[in-house]
């Protein structure tokens, strides 16, 4: 429930550079999401204690949020209207941005959820470690550090190159990594780690840009509703892909299990390529599409 309001608040502080601003927000989310892996990797705490430590950081964040206000570029206020929750999907430009986001989300959280298990199984099959890191620490490097950098860089580049250019490039690369990483399973850990780092960068580099695009394409009075609709449907979709990985591992093994995630970014590329060709795309990133 905090993510869409946070994106809307961030957007009220910027007209130019909005992609970078929301990219920084997503970078913070990425590092925070990976922090339990860091806690586990450094301390070897039982999972319950790891959860308590991560929750304590959430309480600290709540105290910080009490100092946050909307910026000078506020969106017009409107009463909640359930009809507008589906209206965003009837707007051609916003609908395509949402479809791109759904393809992205099919891949993202399944990768974040199961990468640690993949790395642990890979290093167990091979023996050794990831340049002195255990699987939890390696996961934090790939998801938290590499992902945070990817979200920041994605925001900066999208404002310069355009939303569709950045998202198409990021999804093409992340989908490729989803297929390639299986071939490194049980191989030299350094190669596995390098592919995972590239995947960690590219899988999140585009995330903020789908939401930023919705703030630029949806009716101004219902930006909050549009963001909530987009994120709710996207997160609902992640449940299916997260659930699908264990049966895939049982059926085809880790070498091929992640390849199914490439379907999402492939469809996302098609949606964003279609959006790029529309006149509405000129509303994004100061006309840079």
pLDDT digits (tens, 9 = 90+) for 187-224: 888 999 999 999 999 999 998 888 888 888 877 777 77
Give SS3 for 133. Answer: strand
Count of positions (residues) in the chain = 289
pTM: 0.84
Tell me the pLDDT of the chain averaged across its residues: 84
pLDDT, tens only, 107-116: 999 999 999 9
Could you tell me if 23 and 160 are in contact, meaning their C-beta atoms sit under 8 angstroms apart? no
122-138 average pLDDT score: 78
* Residues facing 130 on adjacent strands: 133
Residue 178, pLDDT > 90, answer: yes
pLDDT, tens only, 53-105: 888 888 887 888 788 777 777 766 666 666 767 777 777 888 899 999 999 99
Residue 122, pLDDT > 80, answer: yes
For the chain, domain boundaries: 3-72+82-281
- C-alpha to C-alpha distance for 8 and 13, rounded to whole angstroms: 9
Say which residue the tokens 């990021």 belong to: 170
Q: Is the dihedral of CA 63, 140, 34, 136 positive or negative?
A: negative
Percent of the chain with pLDDT over 70: 89
Tokens of 15: 């007209």
Burial 167-191 (b: 16+ CB within 10 A, else e): bbbbbebbbbbbeebbebbbeebee
CATH superfamily of 3-72+82-281: MFS general substrate transporter like domains (1.20.1250.20)
The pLDDT score that the predictor gives to residue 289 is: 65
Percent of the chain with pLDDT over 90: 36
């Amino acid at each position: 429930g905090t993510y869409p309001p946070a994106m809307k608040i961030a957007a009220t502080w910027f007209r130019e550079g909005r992609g970078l601003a929301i990219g920084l927000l997503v970078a913070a989310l990425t590092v925070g999401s990976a922090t339990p892996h860091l806690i586990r990797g450094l301390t070897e705490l039982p999972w319950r204690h790891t959860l308590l430590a991560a929750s304590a950081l959430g309480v600290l964040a709540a105290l910080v949020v009490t100092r946050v206000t909307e910026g000078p570029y506020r969106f017009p206020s409107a009463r909640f209207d359930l009809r507008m929750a589906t209206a965003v999907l009837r707007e051609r430009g916003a609908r395509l941005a949402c479809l791109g986001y759904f393809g992205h989300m099919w891949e993202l959280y399944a990768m974040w959820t199961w990468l640690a298990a993949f790395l642990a199984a890979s290093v167990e099959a091979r023996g050794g470690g990831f340049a002195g890191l255990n699987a939890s620490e390696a996961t934090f490097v790939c998801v938290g550090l590499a992902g945070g950098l990817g979200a920041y860089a994605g925001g900066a580049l999208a404002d310069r190159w355009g939303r569709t250019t950045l998202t198409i490039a990021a999804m093409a690369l992340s989908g490729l990594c989803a297929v390639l990483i299986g071939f490194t399973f049980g191989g030299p850990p350094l190669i596995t780690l390098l592919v995972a780092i590239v995947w960690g960068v590219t899988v999140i580099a585009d995330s903020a840009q789908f939401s930023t695009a919705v703030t630029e394409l949806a009716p101004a009075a219902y930006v909050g509703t549009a963001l909530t609709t987009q994120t709710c449907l996207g997160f609902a979709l992640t449940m299916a892909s997260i659930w699908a990985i264990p049966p895939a591992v049982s059926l085809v093994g880790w070498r091929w299990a992640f390849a199914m995630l490439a379907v999402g970014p492939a469809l996302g590329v098609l949606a964003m390529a279609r959006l790029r060709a529309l006149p509405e795309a000129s509303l994004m990133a100061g006309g840079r599409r």
